[in-house]
Chains A and B, each alone.
Chain A
Amino acid sequence: MKTKSTVFSIVAVAILLVAAYSGIAQSGGNVAVVVNPANPIDNITAADLHKIYAGDKSSWGGGLIVAAFVRTAPSHERDVLLKAIMKMTDSQYQEAWVKKIYSGAAAHEPLALPSNSMQLEAVRSQKGGIAFIAASEVKDGVKVIKVDGVAPGGAGYSLK
């Protein structure tokens, strides 16, 4: 009787864990790339996103300086950036920036912000601003751009 109860408890806990994990996994969703409305671009390639967040591209057309923002860890937006665009781990990303700045090839790394609301405000206030924000949390004052010609939620959208 006791064994049966224990097994039942284990199964129940396992089901709860699976459910919880599923909830976490589903909490991600599409991540939008947003820029300041003053920025004329409407589309960006994944290769250019990689260059921006690797420090190899520091200006938009017309001399507008890129002001890149990134969520602090842990966050879904940061995970998407690292996995889908940078293809590296968080520590590899941080080490790459240490090397980049140390070599003098870039003046500073993307500013890490702890919330999407801060990212939104940062992009609103910076003409060259760009950030990864959960599509469901995008608000007025920023412009969502396509990635490789696909808008968030579109077929084949890679940032999720």
Chain B
Amino acid sequence: MKRIVATSLVVLAMAIGALAQSAQPADQTETVKALLKEVTELKARLAAVEAKLAEPAAAPAAAPAMTFTPETSSFVRGIKFQGFGEVGYKANDNPFGQSPAFGFSEGSNGNFATGDFDLFMTSRINDKTSVLAEIVFEAADAQSFNVNMARALLKYDANDYLKMSFGRYHTATSFFNQNFHSGKWLQTPTDRPLVVQFAAKGGMLPTQAIGASITGKIPSGKLGLNYIFEYGTSDTVRPDINSRTVATTDESNGNGTTLGLFAKPDFLPGLEVGGSFYHDRLNPTDTGLHIGQSIYSAHLMYLTPRFEFINEGFVIQHAVDNARTYHTPAFYSLISYNVSGKWRPYFMYQYANANVNRVVLDDIGLRHGPSAGVRYDFNSYVAAKFQYDRAMRRNPLPTINSATTQLAFRF
């Protein structure tokens, strides 16, 4: 383009020169004026073309403007991993030694164990949808491990009043079960209280299920009411916690329903009061019995960065073939205080009383006793715990004293 215009100008100049020499003087003035005007216009056009050509190469028209969008930001996209682990030593004076169900060697009165190794991951799909998964490598007898898909949830949070989750979840049968899961670093004591222990480790509640969980706020002003509804299939397989072998009872649960209500009032941040009701039917393997199971729970807790006070009470009702009904009361109470930012002494008392003639939970019997310990946080990632437990049982079963040290960490 540039060359064409330049050539045109040269030709015009030559023409002007030729005309100037050959034309008659009368016409020359007008002709020259017209040609000079044309040259001036062409020069202007050339300058415009040159200016345009001199501009830097334009950005591709399709390239979008760069803006900050958290949905596409590398800060939040992808899968976020967190991990929790533990290693500990536990000694006890149980004449039959330790049960193999807790990650300690069968029959041992003192050995090391790694406990649960927990891989926790989350991923945002968009601002309302996310995925949460928790895979736990559970320590079993003699340093063997079981892989447990503890939680796998597709979550959709429409707003504060409607939050839905689908997949495998920890049931809302207890506050502890819903908040502390498998990461020992998150909880103050070395292990869960027996009543809220995972069912696969001897706990008394259906702790896991597959189905749907819906929760959210209830418009209630400063009272801060929340609801929770769950419908899913649990499959509780409990070990006999008194057995030296891994004897289990498969409760073959039917579908279970959980209804919960709790308040987190504005006037005292950290306070939570609530309760739940759970119902399903059990068909324990090889018994031919059908048992209606209803679990009533209530909790009162007060949590601040320094102070921790958790109390939960339960009544577990089993109606066997609509003929016999057993009630099992259980509770635990935990109190701790962070005295210096690193040291947290704590005290816990737990109680459970199950009829030994019943079909399920017969291994529990009467158990109660205190636990006392101290937690030391080296930093925000590693904590050491030292705990003493005393479990008093119904005669003739002897009392069990145990001492546990645990190094719990997150990464």
A interface, CB within 8 angstroms of B: 47, 50, 56-59, 63, 65, 67, 88-89, 91-92, 94-96, 98-99, 101-104, 107-108, 111, 118, 121-122, 124-126, 128
B183 lies within 8 A of A102 (CB): yes
B124 lies within 8 A of A107 (CB): yes
Q: For A90, give the chain B residue with the smallest CB separation.
A: B380
**Closest beta carbon of chain A to B266's beta carbon, Å:** 5
B245 sits at the interface (CB 8 A): no
Q: Which residues of B contact A104 (CB under 8 A)?
A: 132, 151, 153, 155, 165, 169, 178
User: Would you list the 10 A-B pairs with minimal beta carbon distance, nearest first?
Assistant: A59-B159, A107-B130, A92-B305, A121-B68, A65-B127, A91-B380, A103-B179, A59-B160, A63-B159, A125-B68
| A56 and B186 alpha carbons, distance in the complex (Å) | 19
B264 sits at the interface (CB 8 A): yes
Q: List 30 A-B contacts (CB under 8 A).
A: A47-B266, A56-B264, A58-B159, A58-B160, A59-B157, A59-B159, A63-B158, A91-B380, A94-B380, A98-B82, A101-B82, A102-B82, A102-B120, A103-B178, A103-B180, A104-B132, A104-B155, A104-B169, A107-B132, A107-B155, A108-B122, A108-B124, A108-B130, A111-B70, A111-B73, A111-B75, A118-B68, A122-B70, A125-B67, A126-B70
A65 lies within 8 A of B76 (CB): no
Q: For B130, give the chain A residue with the smallest CB separation.
A: A107
Q: Which residues of A contact B120 (CB under 8 A)?
A: 102
| Interface majority SS (helix, strand, loop, mixed), chain A | helix
Q: Which residues of A contact B380 (CB under 8 A)?
A: 91, 94-95
Given A88-B305, A111-B76, do A67 and B269 touch, yes or no (CB 8 Å)? no
Digitize B115-158: 1 where CB-to-A-CB distance is under 8 Å, 0 elsewhere. Answer: 00000101010011010100000000000000000010101011
Q: Which residues of A contact B160 (CB under 8 A)?
A: 57-59
Q: For B305, give the chain A residue with the smallest CB separation.
A: A92
Q: Which residues of B contact A99 (CB under 8 A)?
A: 179, 186
| A126 and B122 alpha carbons, distance in the complex (Å) | 22
Interface residues of B in 299-348 (CB under 8 A from A): 305
A98 lies within 8 A of B186 (CB): yes
Most interface-central of A50, A63, A89 (chain B CB within 10 A): A63
Q: Which residues of A contact B179 (CB under 8 A)?
A: 99, 103
**Closest beta carbon of chain B to A109's beta carbon, Å:** 10
Q: For A128, give the chain B residue with the smallest CB separation.
A: B127
B157 lies within 8 A of A58 (CB): yes
| A122 and B71 alpha carbons, distance in the complex (Å) | 11
| A121 and B67 alpha carbons, distance in the complex (Å) | 8
| A126 and B151 alpha carbons, distance in the complex (Å) | 31
Residue from the list A47, A96, A107, A121 in contact with B305, Cβ < 8 A:
A96
B181 lies within 8 A of A102 (CB): yes
Q: For B127, give the chain A residue with the smallest CB separation.
A: A65
